[in-house]
Amino acid sequence: MKKVTTLCLIFLCFSAVLFAEQKRMAPLGFPSTAGNGMGGPHAAYTSDIYALFVNPAALQWANQASILELSPALMGPLDKLARSGSGLTDALKGKSGSGSNPFTSLANIIDGGKLSIGLDMRGPLSAGYTANGLGFGLFSRVFADVRVIGTDVDVTGYVDMMLPFGMSFNVVRLQDHELAAGFVLKPFVRAIIDKELSALDFVGGNGDISINVPILAGMGSDLGVLYRFKRDLALGLTLGDLYTFGGRMGNITGTSVDNEIYRVPLSLNLGAAYTFRLANFWEAAPRALQSAYIAAMADWRSMNNIFTWNDRLHRNPILDLGLGAEFGFFNFLKLRVGFRDMLPAIGLGLEPKVFKFNVALYGKELGSEPGINSTMALDISMALRLETKKRNWPWSKPFIK
């Protein structure tokens, strides 16, 4: 009788998920500044703590512990803000002179009636552990975005607390070939802000300017496969958010709780990477250059969007292509370039052992077509990470060798 009761409860839970009203929400993730500097995450090029969010199969080769990370990113027309910010500041302080008109300064920032300003803060809660096929952690993220189009204002944002747990299995390990497959489960709690306002809402006090902030609790899941040939050539395939949903627990504003389920759409991602190591071709290279390498990568993210390319509500599939390259020198200096959303990206990394400092400047397309609503982002990251001891877990032993 107990088994029957348990099965009935499980069935009722899944029925609630399937038949409740469903809404879309942003994917669960923890973007890296290094990845942003080389065209976004790459399914075939990750072997650190970020394997928990990029490709769980790569956990097989990840041996790193994250102690602390603080990664703020500012999004918006950074060049226009820099040029117009001083004039706007002087105008607000009541100073006179050239460029001190606040309306002129705002007009320079809001080009064509469009403006988007956002903030993405990862950490400071960022603790995780990965070692030879096992990974888990506790991560926090705050994201906010304000978009102005004409007289309309769209405010979106979320605050995440995630506890990812992943495992990777060593399927094949031959002389030159390695194949791993893995999964990640991502329990989470999220608070969401999503409000559309109009200038009419502020006229006469008749509009609804209250903001509803639902609190969700749910589970995310990713699957990944990674193949490596001589450690230099890699092919990766991931099913991001295979089944990711969250249900309302309550509202910060104290309003009633609706029976709504929030879902993240499935994302099918394919990537390839090749690493050219100088020491493999120049045995007599100077010691300072023994660790030098060049890595090139290409990805097609959200490949499943190709089936809805003629739907105007979906992004143009060309925006899902990503290219990147990383140049490593002296075991701590890394230069990065990339291309995503049909916009360029550059990055710099200084990673001497435990302390990791990275900075990235990249473009981001907020529209559904290239050049519709492009913006910029400046991302800076400071982190403390340790190399973990390699473990001989049962699942790290190859099934075929």
pLDDT at position 364 over 70: yes
Q: Cβ neighbours of residue 334 under 8 Å, at least 6 residues apart? A: 34, 326, 327, 328, 347, 348, 349, 350, 351
Percent of the chain with pLDDT over 70: 78
Mean pLDDT of 124-133: 94
Residue 225 neighbours by CB under 8 Å, 6+ apart: 57, 179, 180, 181, 236, 237, 238
Parent domain of 296: 2-396
Give the count of domains, the chain: 1
Question: What is the pLDDT, as a whole number, of residue 236?
Answer: 97
Q: Please state the length of the chain.
A: 401
In this prediction, residue 255 carries a pLDDT of 60
- Over residues 276-296, the mean pLDDT reads 81
For residue 401, tell me if it sits in a domain.
Answer: no
Any domain includes 40: yes
Domain of residue 330, CATH code: 2.40.160
pLDDT over 90, % of the chain: 51
Work out the average pLDDT over 75-85. Answer: 65
Q: Could you give the CA distance from residue 310 to residue 290 in angstroms, rounded to a whole number?
A: 50
For residue 180, report the phi and psi dihedrals to the nearest 5 degrees: -130, 150
Residue 56 confidence (pLDDT) above 80: yes
Question: What's the mean pLDDT in 260-283?
Answer: 88
The better pLDDT of the pair 365, 10 is held by 365
pLDDT at 18: 44
* pLDDT, tens only, 19-39: 445 788 889 899 999 999 999
Over residues 379-387, the mean pLDDT reads: 95
Q: How many CB atoms lie within 10 A of CB 144?
A: 16
Residues 6+ apart with CB under 8 A from 319: 341, 342, 365, 368, 369, 370
